[in-house]
Structure 1
């Protein structure tokens, strides 16, 4: 039907948030629409799955994402300090916007991203600043990493541990200093890395693929 003919009382709104956190953003909408649902990003297992490590991509840490002033507020705290002194860690950074460090290696395609995840000891997850403050926005990166069975350490996002990885599957830092300590702790601990990566993989495959999200949408209209 045309948008003009849709009865607002029957409209369903989707947002970038777990259903448990939707009232924070969407509570006021309940008075004007019949139903709201929260819909998170997820993993596409046809694109992101455990792959064979690529010798040319092997590294201690890798990060895929652009650098811009707003996101840089967190990247400067979490990732940039790990880049110095140069050579302390073997770091590979890719993204569609250049970084102010020599470890930046340009743009990368999805297939190579998957290979990179499987070739890295640690894949940091860093969010935009508001995600740390409000705690409801979980980015797609964590689902891609988990679906690839890659080990990640994340910056603090309440919803990540309260709504998604609720059984201690994910390693989540409390602040930048703790993040750097966790990198030091896990980089030489392959058994623990594999344990957490496998647990996150199982959780995402069970509940957080885009097939699950499609089912959520279908159920919201039933």
Structure 2
């Protein structure tokens, strides 16, 4: 199977990079061909040279600057299946009532909604949000399009247990200092550092890093090569793996809106466990759809974080048993190899339905 994946700027230090890398590594490991289409590439040439069976992009203004949907439709007519990563239909559902937020809802983007209804935007519209969630209510009925839930996962070609005493700590957090996490992190996680050894790694934790980030994002938007690659992740993948493997507790924090809606699981949920790490996660309802309390403990508030940290630091055997069960769960159902197989099954379903027309 030949796959082309649109990632305009692979130098990004945020989640899009890691989703791309996880899927790429799994496709390649399973024997498929994988090509990344970037802002510097010519789409017509890439399609002509690679003749993809699957093309994946994100349905947003940024990606639409580089993809030619009528050209992609011509290849779909020859058998290619187009996957469009889409955002929430009702982003404000369940947690925001301020009308100013509604502009970011897909349902209010008339142009993209029309692209979907006209059949131009794709064959498969997907995200990691559950299909029956309020955030997606009305999407299929309004657009006539099909939605699929494809969860994030662990990249087991790069994340596995590798203890390294140089990265040992009581607690560790790896992630960007996003605005939507900052208040929770400062109230629930940061205070733990006064009593325990807390390591924090990632982008945007200093004013300098945030300033470089603004410049880099502007460079990516304008496609200025020198600025687009201004930053790399603070940790290499190998060092990130060692952090998760070596910390006695790995902290996982989602964005505020995710806790409020319980609508998704970040990639960290899976990759900490893939490394054999012991993880405590914030209170996201969706966690319990996939992990039991004996595989992944949940902390609801600052009191929980404090008490659970003390308890599990003092209980290494219990901690190790929970981590082992969590890793077993991830390896059984939540690797990017599983997601690739799901993507290929969905693509086969699209082709089967086309054959009936």
For residues 138-177 of structure 1, the aligned pairs below 5 Å read 138-161=265-288, 163-166=289-292, 168-177=294-303
The residue aligned with 1:59 is: 169
Check if 1:113 corresponds to 2:113.
no
C-alpha separation in 2, matches of 1:138 and 1:68: 16
Check if 1:203 corresponds to 2:310.
no
For residues 18-29 of structure 1, the aligned pairs below 5 Å read 19=130, 21-29=131-139
The residue aligned with 1:92 is: 199
Runs of 4+ residues deviating >6 angstroms: none
Which shifted more, 27-36 or 110-119?
Answer: 27-36
TM superposition score normalised by structure 1: 0.86
Which shifted more, 197-206 or 65-74?
Answer: 65-74
Contact 1:22 1:38 in 2 (8 A): no
Residues 117-137 of structure 1, C-alpha deviations (whole Å, 9 max, x = no match): 111100011111111110012
Decide which structure has the larger Cα Rg and report it.
Answer: 2
Check if 1:181 corresponds to 2:307.
yes
Shift, 1:97, TM fit: 1.5
RMSD (Å) for aligned C-alpha atoms: 2.2
Residues 74-115 of structure 1, C-alpha deviations (whole Å, 9 max, x = no match): 11122111122xxx3112111111259xxxxx9211100111
Unaligned runs of at least 5 residues, structure 2: 1-46, 48-67, 77-117, 208-232, 350-357
Shift, 1:167, TM fit: 6.2
C-alpha separation in 1, matches of 2:144 and 2:317: 49
The residue aligned with 2:128 is: 16
Equivalent pairs counted in the alignment come to: 210
- SS of residue in 2 equivalent to 1:43: coil
- SS of residue in 1 equivalent to 2:280: strand
C-alpha separation in 2, matches of 1:138 and 1:64: 15
Contact 2:253 2:281 in 1 (8 A): yes
- SS of residue in 1 equivalent to 2:330: helix
Check if 1:3 corresponds to 2:69.
yes
Shift, 1:3, TM fit: 2.3
> 1 or 2 for the larger relative contact order (CA 8 Å, sep ≥6)?
1
Contact 1:155 1:176 in 2 (8 A): no
C-alpha separation in 2, matches of 1:138 and 1:158: 9
Shift, 1:218, TM fit: 1.6
Unaligned runs of at least 5 residues, structure 1: 101-105
For residues 28-43 of structure 1, the aligned pairs below 5 Å read 28-31=138-141, 32-43=143-154
TM superposition score normalised by structure 2: 0.55
- SS of residue in 1 equivalent to 2:338: helix
